[in-house]
């Protein structure tokens, strides 16, 4: 936006919860844009698509999923190496499957 448009654009002061400014700044930096551009883009996305989930939530979910997958792969590796799973191994795999955020997606795909 050029300087003239910037001076006449609507301005609105927003109070952000503690820590949110830093979160917006970090995401904007990762996306190579200003905080203002990041905020405007997210507002536009949420108005166009009410199902839009912010990237920060996705990033958090991604890290949680990576952690769960790492644990699951380690268990699977142990199962394959041992050939005879322990009761604890079986219980841990069942727990991961039942409590995974992807469980509803898997159940829907299997039921389809």
Q: Let me know whether 24 and 38 are in one domain.
A: yes
Comparing CA positions, the residue from 33, 35, 30 lying closest to residue 55 is 30
Residues (pLDDT < 50) of the chain are: 108-112
Which pLDDT belongs to residue 28?
92
CA dist 8 to 1, 3, 78, Å?
A: 11, 9, 64
> Domain for residue 33, yes or no?
yes
* Number of domains within the chain: 2
Per-residue pLDDT at 57? 59
Domain co-membership, 64 together with 77: yes
- pTM, entire model: 0.41
> What domain range is 85 assigned to?
56-111
SS3 state at 82: helix
Predicted confidence at residue 112, as pLDDT, reads 45
Model pLDDT, residue 51: 66
On whether residue 46 sits in a domain, the answer given is yes
């Amino acid at each position: 936006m050029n300087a003239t448009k910037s001076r006449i654009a609507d301005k609105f002061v927003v109070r952000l919860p503690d820590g949110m400014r830093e979160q917006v700044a970090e995401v904007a930096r990762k996306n190579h844009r200003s905080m203002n551009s990041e905020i405007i883009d997210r507002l536009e996305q949420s108005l166009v698509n009410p199902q839009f989930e912010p990237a920060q939530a996705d990033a958090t979910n991604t890290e949680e999923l990576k952690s769960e997958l790492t644990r699951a792969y380690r268990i699977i590796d142990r199962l394959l190496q041992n050939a005879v799973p322990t009761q604890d191994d079986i219980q841990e795999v069942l727990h991961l499957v039942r409590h995974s955020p992807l469980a509803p997606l898997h159940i829907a795909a299997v039921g389809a």
